[in-house]
Amino acid sequence: MPDDTRAESEDWGLGLEEEAGAELQKDEGGEPEVESDGGFELPVFTTRRMVQTGIVVVILLVGIYFLFPKLVGLGDALGKLGDADPLWIGIAVLFSIASYATYIALFKAVVGGDALRLTWSETYEINMAGVAATLLFSAGGAGGVALTYWALRKAGMQRREVARRMVAFVGLHYAFYPLALIVFGLLLRTGVLSGNHSVELTIIPAAIAGVMLVVGVLVTLIPSDLEARLMPHAHGAHTRSFVEWAARVPETAGEGFRFALRLFTHPRQGGLAVIGAAGFWAFSIGVLWASFHSLGIHVPLAVVVQGFFLGMVANLFPLAPAGVGAVDAGMIGAFVLFGLPEETVFPAILIFRLISFWMPIPPGVVAFFQLRNTVRRWEEEGLPIERGGELRPAPAGSTLQKVK
């Protein structure tokens, strides 16, 4: 790769590596762990970190599932857990496994494959380790993002290419979120599908989702040479420095969203990615559907879908580790608004969260340690980026390069 291209790639990291280092490189005493080559290293799962996270999680779960039901007069709502049908619990577990399998397929199709020859086992380790990091390293998913960034950089991918691919991954992954709210919101409102069709649960979410889609489309219009277009209007060293810095995020976001849109609209090129994104949401909703059935609760499918996505909005709450407590409360509230009895909603959501969220944590911790060993093996035997591959055609004005 030419030196000027390498320099450009190193300069356009969007600050992710610094953020990853600040998030991940501190050990138990707060000091950074440093590799022999001077780079940052991932921490171990320290006792202090796990205890702190555990305390927060226990407080949230006890408050939502034990104290709140008693305060509102629901009695022993969780006593129904013992009545859950093992067959439906098994079906929910299978749905959960399928959801993570499709999530991994999405990651491999978008981030790896053409540019980074990750094996399926390496892809599994990165994604499942991210599941554990999301809970144990920070709230709001930042831990998982930082760990994924770290792994891809260790695999040899350039900074800006990592940022672009991750933007595309997230964009394609969440594209089905607003689409589902629009489709099922309209179908419920018009009576095509059975269920509560109140405006606040159907039309308003659909309208907000529509705005989200429009914003996403507008992002694809951001040119890759935004900095070059703005520089002639910048006067003075400070202004030019600010323009150079400020253009990074929108440029990379635009390239990432265009890449995601190209995958979405070209099945031959992005079929695995689209199937992975749609499959993740479909199987995750399947876990929730089976959780209701395990307690003998029959909820219209459209209500399950709409309630799922409305409840998941609470995942944006920044103070709860990985949405713990916030998502639980959001989903409970959504289904209560749809008219389901509170004493049946509480245990059903608890079963859903136990299977879809808590069950993958142990294999995620194992994958975390496997990934550390894999990175060491890369450093000794050669990086995945050196295995060959060719980047997909880039948008006009982009600087994607062929990887030898």
pLDDT digits (tens, 9 = 90+) for 254-275: 999 999 999 888 877 788 999 9
Residue 354 pLDDT: 86
pLDDT value of residue 115: 75
The one-letter code for the residue type at 370 is Q
Residue 12, SS3?
coil
Going by the DSSP 8-state scheme, the letter that residue 34 receives in this structure is B
Please, what's the b/e burial string for 267-295 (b: 16 or more CB within 10 A of its CB; e: otherwise)? Answer: eebbebbbbbbbbbbbbbbbbbbbbbbbb
Per residue in 31-44, pLDDT (tens digit) is 333 343 334 455 44
What does residue 354 show for φ and ψ, rounded to 5 degrees?
A: -60, -40
Would you state the pLDDT for residue 321? 54
Which secondary-structure segment (H or E) carries 35?
none
Burial category of 115 from C-beta neighbours within 10 Å (exposed 0-12, middle 13-18, buried 19 and up)? buried
- Provide the whole-model pTM: 0.78
pLDDT beneath 70, residues of the chain: 1-54, 56-58, 60-79, 113, 135-142, 316-325, 388-404
Give me the pLDDT at residue 219, please. Answer: 93
Per the CB < 8 A criterion, the answer to whether 108 and 280 are in contact is no
Q: Exposure string (b/e) for 227-260, b if CB count within 10 Å is 16 or more?
A: beebeeeeeeeeeeeebeeebbbebbbbbbbbbb
| Tens of pLDDT, residues 273-322 | 999 999 999 999 999 999 999 999 999 999 999 999 998 887 766 555 55
d(CA 155, CA 377): 11
Q: Are 299 and 334 in contact (CB under 8 A)?
A: no
What is the reported pLDDT for 29?
41
Computed over every residue of the chain, the mean pLDDT equals: 78
- Residue in the block written with tokens 């990432």: 256
